[in-house]
Structure 1
Amino acid sequence: MLHYFVMKQQTGRVQEILAHPNVKLDVVRQTDGYTALHIAAQVGSADMIALLIDAGIDKEARAFAPEERPIHVAVRAGAISAVKKLVELGASVNSLDGGRNTPLHIAAERNPIDLTMIELLLDLGADRDVQNMSRKTPAEVIRDTGTAGAEARTLLTP
């Protein structure tokens, strides 16, 4: 039920569930391994993210393949406020997924490219030199996708 109410952004219901003494925060959705925090990140709800992290949910929990963490999900969804809140509350801007992709790699592969997200991640301290499992930096990911303009490539070039 927690996942459902987070997805629907029903704050009151989520608070009721979190107040229960035996609430299990590590429950994952069977289809993708998402925790309630992954869902909050996906829908871009900074308020839900704060509620869940304050309740003790694991901010670095991995979903099923590709083992994305909530911050990866927020970047993939283009949820700027969710990314800001996750990092503000302790999530790593350089978390690795199962393919060793950082959130910056995920932003670099989005089509169309979201320059605002890339700039935010860099401002938050994202490492532009990290290589993923394919030995590619975010700049190389952008180059290979061929969807970005010069501005995005310039942002990611050290």
Structure 2
Amino acid sequence: MLRALTTVFTLALSTMVHAQTAPSASDIAGYSGLHLAAHEGSAKDVAALIAAGADPDARDRRGRTAAHVAAFASHDAVLEALAKGGADMNALEHGVYDVITIAAVADDPELVSLAIELGNRPDLITSVYDGTALIAAAHLGHHEVVARLVQVGAPLDHVNNLGWTAVMEAVVLGDGGPDHIETVRILAKAGADTSIPDRDGVTPLEHAVARGYDEIAQLLR
């Protein structure tokens, strides 16, 4: 078990290296056209630019489309205007993130639901860890986002390239507090397979017990 916990700690540190990257001050200073309109939240300008022939899927230096920029800035109306103008709602930027995963990490359930309504698939494989928006939300204990993704059929038992499911991430990367307890409760109630172990054969229940996460352990039993 000690070896397994050491492995988990090492992998947890690695997840911090490849976090999402919102547009920087220098990125924003260089924006024009759709990217600038998306960042500033001007749905009217977005619609006018697309009508004038702007490419709705043009990318910045980090592969972000205007939809990604709008998601980072939480501009719902801009996202709607982009979708109406033909933007690819399933585009992945260079960090392999889509709009839903950006919204999931930001704990923005309304934007998550809107993105799905506009065509963003909840089953996309995202991030350099080959994960999903559900795994990202479970990791952070964003249980309202988890609930919404579960409702629209996000894959409950997807295993990322770290060997973890959403349930596993909620345990090994969570703090055992109310948000992660509720996350595990939602996933278990939805029918997630709580017995899927990590690469060392350690189950979520065993990790919860080792960490003293008694309420989570009770849910997993």
Alignment TM-score, normalising by the size of structure 1:
0.89
Q: Structure 1 vs Structure 2: percent identity of aligned residues?
A: 24
How far residue 11 of structure 1 moved from its aligned partner, in angstroms, is 2.0
- How far apart, in 1, do the equivalents of 2:174 and 2:92 lie? 29
Matching residue of 2:64: 34
Larger CA Rg, structure 1 vs 2: 2
2:106 pairs with 1:74: no
Letter paired with 2:163? R
Matching residue of 2:155: 127
Matching residue of 2:169: 141
How far residue 16 of structure 1 moved from its aligned partner, in angstroms, is 1.7
Equivalent in 90, 93, 99 of residue 122 of structure 2: 93
How far residue 18 of structure 1 moved from its aligned partner, in angstroms, is 1.3
- How far apart, in 1, do the equivalents of 2:98 and 2:37 lie? 20
Are 2:71 and 2:99, in contact at CA under 8 Å, matched by a contact in 1?
A: yes
Matching residue of 2:136: 106
- How far apart, in 2, do the equivalents of 1:78 and 1:7 lie? 19
Letter paired with 2:100? I
Relative distance call for 1:96 and 1:148 in structure 2 (3 A) is farther
Q: Structure 2 unaligned runs (5+)?
A: 1-31, 193-221
Matching residue of 2:4: none
1:86-141 CA-partner distances (Å, limit 9, x unpaired)? 1112211111113211100110122xx22211111111221211111112110001
Relative distance call for 1:92 and 1:148 in structure 2 (3 A) is farther
Q: Which has the higher contact order (CA 8 A, sep 6+)?
A: 1
Alignment TM-score, normalising by the size of structure 2:
0.65
- How far apart, in 2, do the equivalents of 1:146 and 1:51 lie? 36
How far residue 46 of structure 1 moved from its aligned partner, in angstroms, is 2.2
Q: Structure 1 unaligned runs (5+)?
A: none
- How far apart, in 2, do the equivalents of 1:100 and 1:86 lie? 20
- How far apart, in 2, do the equivalents of 1:145 and 1:154 lie? 16
- How far apart, in 2, do the equivalents of 1:51 and 1:12 lie? 8
- How far apart, in 2, do the equivalents of 1:147 and 1:108 lie? 12
Q: Aligned Cα RMSD in Å?
A: 1.5
Q: How many residues align?
A: 153
Letter paired with 1:86? A
Relative distance call for 1:7 and 1:152 in structure 2 (3 A) is same
Relative distance call for 1:100 and 1:7 in structure 2 (3 A) is same
Matching residue of 2:55: 24
SS of corresponding position for 1:74: helix
Are 1:43 and 1:79, in contact at CA under 8 Å, matched by a contact in 2?
A: no
